[in-house]
Amino acid sequence: MKDNNPISPHIQIYNWHISSLVSISHRITGVLNYLLLILVCFWVISLMFGPENYQYFKIFSKSIVGKFFIIGFIWSYIFQILSEIRHWFWDMGYGFELKTTKITGVLVILGSFTLTIVLYLFNGVLI
């Protein structure tokens, strides 16, 4: 009997809406950010191996793949932040109307891309 308990329906059952897109992206970026954080920790731990070995990381960080990695990293984190703020408002009881969920969903998506570009391009000014 226990094995027959229902689990959540899989995403392919539903029609796609902004809300479902943001919802599944929130979960995907959540897992991705966890894995990226592990990589950040390994990066910090790798500093123990000294400046000679760090040259390999420098080559990676300056490469196209490295730039793509850091832009993807920033986008994934910003998406999670904006989506989490959206969840806070829900937790306080705001933003459940259909129109509002669509608007906030679009804001999360557009905001994540806009802030990624802004943060990457103007980073030297910010710090």
Partner 1 sequence: MLQATKKWIFQKIGSVIMVPFMIWFLINIISIFSGSYDEVINFFTSQPSKILFSIFIVSMFFYSALSISEIFEDYIKHENAKKYANLGVFLSSLIIPIITIITIIYL
Rounded least distance, CB 127 to partner 1, Å: 6
Q: Please, which of residues 52-91 interact with partner 1 by CB under 8 A?
A: 54, 58, 61-62, 66, 70, 73-74, 77-78, 80-81, 84-85, 87-88, 91
For residue 125, state whether it binds partner 1 (rule: CB under 8 A): no
Nearest CA-CA partner of 19 in 119, 89, 121, 108: 108
CB 65 within 8 A of CB 111: no
Exactly one of 40, 59, 65, 117 binds partner 1 (CB under 8 A); that residue is 40
Distance between CA atoms of 122 and 30, rounded to whole angstroms?
Answer: 26
- Opening angle at CA 93, ends 96 and 7, nearest 5: 65
Beta carbons within 10 angstroms of residue 105's beta carbon: 20
Binding residues for partner 1, rule: CB under 8 A, are 2-3, 7-8, 10, 27, 30-31, 33-34, 37-38, 40-41, 44-45, 47-48, 50-51, 54, 58, 61-62, 66, 70, 73-74, 77-78, 80-81, 84-85, 87-88, 91, 119-120, 123-124, 126-127
